[in-house]
Amino acid sequence: MSEAKVMTFDEAAGEVIPFGPHKGKKVVEIGSTDEGLIYLDWVRGQDWTHGNINTAVKFFLDDPAIVDDLNKALSERKKAKE
């Protein structure tokens, strides 16, 4: 079993997404909007992502400041649907 790659926040933020509607964009670019954070949260929950992308998205979203932003975005989305 291989170990997960250790990354810095800057490395995680600079990782480029190679698929989907944000193909070619850096994690930090996607994460600069509420909808982008929600998308990254969705990516994190997918079992088909792997390698550096999986590690980068998880590392990025686990940063304390990003956690706060993501929680706010999810809360606002929930309120908008009510």
Residue 22 lies in a domain: yes
Counted domains in the chain? 1
Residue 2 lies in a domain: no
**Model pLDDT for residues 24-65, shown as the tens digit of each residue:** 999 999 999 999 999 999 999 998 887 889 999 999 999 999
What's the first-to-final CA gap in the chain, in angstroms?
44
In a domain? residue 60: yes
Token look-up 């480029």 returns 16
What is the gyration radius of the CA atoms in the chain, in angstroms?
13
Q: Span 11-26, mean pLDDT?
A: 96
What mean pLDDT is predicted for residues 13-22?
95
Distance CA 25, CA 77 (A): 23
Inside any domain, residue 50? yes
The residue range of the domain holding 71 is: 9-81
| Angle in degrees, CA 82, 22, 20, rounded to 5 | 90
The verdict on residue 68 lying in a domain is yes
